[in-house]
Amino acid sequence: MIRLFPERGGWLEVVCGPMFSGKSEELIRRLRRAEIAGQRALVVKPRIDDRYDIGHVVSHAGAKMRAVAVGRPEEIPGLAEQYDVIGIDEVQFFPGAGSAVGQADDARREDRAAYGDPGNIVLVIDVLVERGKRVVASGLDQDFRGLPFGAMPELLCRAELVDKLQAVCHRCGGPATMTQRLVDGYPASADGETIVVGALDSYEARCRACHELAEPSTAAANSRAASSTWMRVPAPVQSGS
Ligand SMILES: [Zn+2]
């Protein structure tokens, strides 16, 4: 595959996909290569993610790289100053748009990030790229419901380079693009919490056909009917497995 990077200035690469698709592994690989090329590389991750090891980004396959856990996106530009390449792992957990990012006033963009525009990761990454940094952001593109996760849609749209990795479906062995959430071994319903790090829930990678959502609880379904945010129809129950 031919990959042409911009010759001047910074750029954004996004590595996305479901859980167990090797995103952190790929992030670490790219930053290691940058270091071999004599560049200074920094990995940051949201403090919310305390799986495995607080001081490192660790892939499911066991690769490991030192990482700084940050509480808010606007801490990143200060940390990144002395570095050429900035890796951001689990980027979907950082607060993103929701606000009027798309219409952000260019002239004020840097100020807003520096002065804590409630920590929009999209604006912060913009600042880094404008300062000439290469940014490699990795994370989940979909939540367990199959809906776009956090700022990921905006980042995918703005990125110079995008890679969507596939995992192996836990059910059928096919290419998996979705994350299945299980609670006590059963498919979670769509009205569950999105972010459950280190909880008792378990996750699997699944293909679209094998991905399942339980029926939402009645109360939640009623309130959802009112707000009409119910997006995904639960997949049919798989037989013979
Ligand atoms: Zn499958």
Do residues 222 and 209 lie in contact, with contact meaning Cβ atoms separated by under 8 Å? Answer: no
Q: How far is the CA of 159 from the centre of ligand 1 (A)?
A: 29
Report which of 241, 233, 179 is spatially closest to residue 205, judged by C-alpha positions. 179
Q: What is the pLDDT of residue 241?
A: 41
Non-local (6+) Cβ contacts of 49 within 8 A are: 69, 89, 90, 93, 197
Paired with 168 in beta bridges are: 175
Kindly report the pTM of this predicted structure: 0.77
Q: How far is the CA of 173 from the centre of ligand 1 (A)?
A: 6
Residues with C-beta atoms within 5 A of ion ligand 1:
169, 171-172, 174, 207, 210
Q: What is the pLDDT of residue 79?
A: 95
Packing angle of the helix pair 121-130, 106-114 (nearest 10 deg): 110
Q: Rounded to whole angstroms, how far apart are CA atoms 42 and 241?
A: 44
Q: What is the pLDDT of residue 101?
A: 39
Q: What is the pLDDT of residue 230?
A: 40
What are the structural domains of the chain? 11-165 (3.40.50.300), 168-227 (3.30.60.20)
Q: Rounded to whole angstroms, how far apart are CA atoms 181 and 232?
A: 14
Q: What is the pLDDT of residue 199?
A: 52
Element (H, E) at 87: strand 85-88
Q: Rounded to whole angstroms, how far apart are CA atoms 18 and 51?
A: 17
Active site residue 90: yes
Q: What is the pLDDT of residue 213?
A: 94
Q: How far is the CA of 180 from the centre of ligand 1 (A)?
A: 11
Q: What is the pLDDT of residue 82?
A: 96
Q: Which two tokens stand for residue 97?
A: 């748009």
Catalytic position from the list 13, 26, 74, 90: 90
Write down the H helix ranges in 81-217.
Answer: 106-114, 121-130, 152-158
Q: Rounded to whole angstroms, how far apart are CA atoms 2 and 36?
A: 20
Q: How far is the CA of 165 from the centre of ligand 1 (A)?
A: 15
Write down the H helix ranges in the chain.
Answer: 23-36, 76-80, 106-114, 121-130, 152-158, 218-227
Report which of 107, 108, 110 is spatially closest to residue 127, judged by C-alpha positions. 110
Q: How many CB atoms lie within 10 A of CB 229?
A: 11
Taking the chain (241 residues) in runs of 10, the rounded mean pLDDT of each run is 68 98 96 96 84 70 86 93 96 72 46 54 95 97 95 96 98 98 88 63 94 74 45 47 41
Q: Rounded to whole angstroms, how far apart are CA atoms 70 and 119?
A: 11
Q: How far is the CA of 178 from the centre of ligand 1 (A)?
A: 9
Q: What is the pLDDT of residue 21?
A: 97
